[in-house]
Amino acid sequence: EQLFSAPTPQYLPPVLGETPPGDPPDPKKCSPREFLEFYIFPVLLPGLAALLHEVEKEKCLEEKRTKFIPTDFLTEWLYNNNPKRKDESFTELFSIPFVKDWLKDHPRPPVPLSLLLSEEEASILIQSFWRGYRVRCDSEIQELRKWQKKLREERYIHDVVRKFWAKQEAKGDFM
């Protein structure tokens, strides 16, 4: 009998954006389950739904790497949809005060160029570098570059430039 007893009713989270019926309990005295149902889920679940829509829009499930950072989106969404900020305007992620403070102490590495460029932009960039490389391999171009280098060395162009700027600085006439 104990092995095949009727299953207990499963927990069902509240509908998106709705709090459970009844008065909200005191957040400092209620059970963890009540706290989740009344204070966390009504805010977090719509944010997660918005996150899933954004993931579909950014095609994150179709590509291995994307520039979309889900935690950034969720942070921005939760901050802007906070009930305490009802009448305030939209705030971008990097303008949120606690995000600014965090990034001062923990700066992010730059986003790789491969994530910033579209496939078309990346192919144009690669093709232009390749064409430049092929042109620089041409014997006539190499000869021209050697001649230019020799000319710079003969004319002491570095000294000429240094003297020019020293003269400009002495006049106080620079930029």
Average pLDDT estimate for 4-25: 60
Q: Is the pLDDT of residue 17 over 80?
A: no
pLDDT of residue 1: 47
| 45-91 per-position pLDDT tens digit | 999 999 999 999 988 888 888 888 999 999 999 999 888 888 899 99
Tell me which of 22 and 45 has the higher pLDDT.
Answer: 45
pLDDT of residue 2: 47
Q: Is the pLDDT of residue 25 over 80?
A: yes
Q: Is the pLDDT of residue 30 over 60?
A: yes
45-59, 119-133, 152-166: which range is least confident on average? 152-166
Instruction: Give every CB contact of residue 25 below 8 A, 6+ residues apart in sequence.
Output: 34, 35, 38
How deeply is 42 buried, as exposed, middle or buried, from its count of CB atoms within 10 A (0-12, 13-18, 19+)? buried
C-alpha span between 36 and 40 (Å, rounded): 5
pLDDT, averaged across the chain:
84
Tell me which of 98 and 17 has the higher pLDDT.
Answer: 98
Average pLDDT estimate for 28-47: 88
Q: Is the pLDDT of residue 6 over 80?
A: no
3-17, 33-47, 80-94, 118-132: which range is least confident on average? 3-17
| 83-96 per-position pLDDT tens digit | 888 889 999 999 99
Structure tokens at 46: 């719509």
Structure tokens at 157: 């162009």
Q: Is the pLDDT of residue 27 over 80?
A: yes
